[in-house]
Amino acid sequence: GCVALEMDGEEGVFYRRLPKVELHAHLNGSVSYQTIEKLSKQKPHLNIEQNMTAIGKGQRRTLDECFQVFKVIHQLVDAEEDILMVAKDVITEFSADGVKYLELRSTPREEKNTGLTKRRYIETVLSAIQQCKNEELDIDVRFLVAIDRRNGTEVAMETVKLAEEFMLSSDGLVVGLDLSGDPTVGHGRDLLPALQRAKNSGLKLSLHLSEVPSQLDETDLLLNLPPDRIGHGTFLHPEVGGSKSLVDKVLKNHIPLELCLTSNVKGQTVPCYSKHHFKYWYQLGHPCVICTDDKGVFCTDLSQEYQLAASTFGLSRESVWNLSQQAIDCIFAEDSVKQQLRQKWAVLKPQVLK
């Protein structure tokens, strides 16, 4: 059955100290309560209250309501200085949570009111990453440029061209492309040429796939690319209306899954933690990476998500360690970065797992 889980206490210390890799974090969904407060004070005319930007403990929302939340946050974060602050705060928070490698993703936005352009948007996120590097936070941060599926073929292609430019000029910070946005809007077939082009030019692809039921055609089409990682993949397997052939494609191509437990439970695509598809894929020995999705909106952090996975599915500390270590194999940065991270994990293992 469905059990509400309680976190915290001495147990929490292990999860916070556990070195972690975060591969699925939307910038504007990751904005913390504290940062939202700073922004709301700067923009009192918007009349934004906390319950409009976050989904608290035990609360659930329909997918539609969740996407309304992003609209509110986007109103608060609409100028260059907002993006800079938000990105620096988010990176600092992930670092404080024990994340050693982070791939942030965000949809470049144009804002007429503030003169923000898509190019400037990306540049600003990249300078936030650079500033955090200069502050010598113990975290390696990379960026995925996101396509919002709502915006269709042309915008997708435009975004890919922008991402290609930055891949070549950002000194390795831009490593890939994300496909996200309301999964009930638009169809993957219209975005295929843009995604194919991105792949050919060397951008890695992380695609939100089968986040909602009954998208077998779209999922099959996008799996043929194939993507380098899958976000959610909630409805891939036959028990929930997916199919054996979809599962086989994922297994055959060894495409890692980015799994976000609290996001799926609060967004109600999964009925409860114990019925999360982590179980299905983990039992198959398939690469599963625990992620937060939107730590601000869903009021969570990566330590808590690891702890939830462990307590729900009965993972030992050794298994939890292996889970976080195997995430290193799934990052989009170059092999030398993987080597550095493996080294870091090796040094920390006796301290953390004692």
Ligand X SMILES: CC(C)=CCNc1ncnc2c1ncn2[C@@H]1O[C@H](COP(=O)(O)O)[C@@H](O)[C@H]1O
Catalytically active residues are: 211
Only one of the segments 63-71, 93-101, 115-123, 235-243 lies at the binding site for ligand X (rule: CB under 6 A); that segment is 63-71
Q: At what angle do helices 335-352 and 10-17 cross, to 10 degrees?
A: 150
**CB of 19 or CB of 178, closer to ligand X:** 178
Only segment of 42-50, 64-72, 93-101, 248-256 that touches ligand X (CB under 6 A): 64-72
Q: How many helices and strands, by DSSP H and E, does the chain display?
A: 14, 8
Binding of ligand X at residue 78 (CB under 6 A)?
A: no
Q: Which of 35, 219, 262, 263 binds ligand X (CB under 6 A)?
A: 263
Interaction between residue 181 and ligand X (CB under 6 A):
yes
φ, ψ dihedrals at 310, nearest 5°: -65, -45
Whole-number Å distance between alpha carbons of 20 and 321: 9
Identify residues 287-326 at the interface with ligand X (CB under 6 A).
293-294
Q: How far is the CB of 293 from Zn ion (least distance, A)?
A: 5
DSSP string of 54-103?
---TT----HHHHHHHHHHHHHHS-SHHHHHHHHHHHHHHHHHTTEEEEE
- For residues 206, 209, 91 and 53, what is the CA-based torsion angle, rounded to 10 degrees? 150
Q: Please state, in angstroms and rounded to a whole number, the distance separating the CA atoms of residues 260 and 129.
A: 24
**Helix or strand holding residue 351 (H, E):** helix 335-352
Q: 53, 170, 180, 292: which one contacts ligand X (CB under 6 A)?
A: 180
Q: CB-wise, 170 or 234, nearer to ligand X?
A: 234
Q: Which does 242 bind (CB under 5 to 8 A by kind): Zn ion, ligand X, none?
A: none
In this structure, what token pair is assigned to residue 150?
Answer: 């709502």
Q: Of 59-67, 197-205, 283-291, 317-325, which segment contacts ligand X by CB under 6 A?
A: 59-67
Shortest spacing between CB 231 and Zn ion, in angstroms: 5
Q: Is 67 in the site for ligand X (CB under 6 A)?
A: yes
CB of 30 to ligand X, least distance (A): 8
Choose between 14 and 67: whose C-beta lies nearer to Zn ion.
Answer: 67
Select from ligand X, Zn ion, none the partner in contact with residue 27, using the beta carbon and a kind-dependent cut-off of 5 to 8 Å. Answer: ligand X
User: What's the half-sphere exposure (Cβ side, CA atoms, 13 Å) at 190?
Assistant: 13
Give Dmax over CA atoms of the chain in angstroms: 54
Buried b (16+ CB within 10 A) or exposed e, 308-330: bbbebbebeeeebbebbbebbeb
Number of residues this chain uses to bind ligand X (CB under 6 A): 21
Q: Which stretch binds ligand X (CB under 6 A): 8-16, 25-33, 134-142, 334-342?
A: 25-33
Report the 10 Å Cβ neighbour count for 75: 15
Please check whether residue 31 is in contact with residue 77, taking contact to mean a CB–CB distance below 8 angstroms: yes
Give whichever of 28 and 303 is closer to ligand X, judged by the CB atom.
Answer: 28
Beta-bridged to residue 145, according to DSSP, are 106, 177
Cβ closer to ligand X: 3 or 185? 185
- Closer CB to ligand X, residue 67 or residue 313? 67
When binding is defined by CB under 5 A, the residue of 82, 111, 293, 301 that contacts Zn ion is: 293
Does residue 142 interact with ligand X by CB under 6 A?
Answer: no
* DSSP one-letter code for 233: -
Binders in 205-224 for ligand X, by CB under 6 A: 208, 211
Instruction: Tell me: does residue 32 bind ligand X (CB under 6 A).
Output: no
Contacts to Zn ion by CB under 5 A: 231, 293
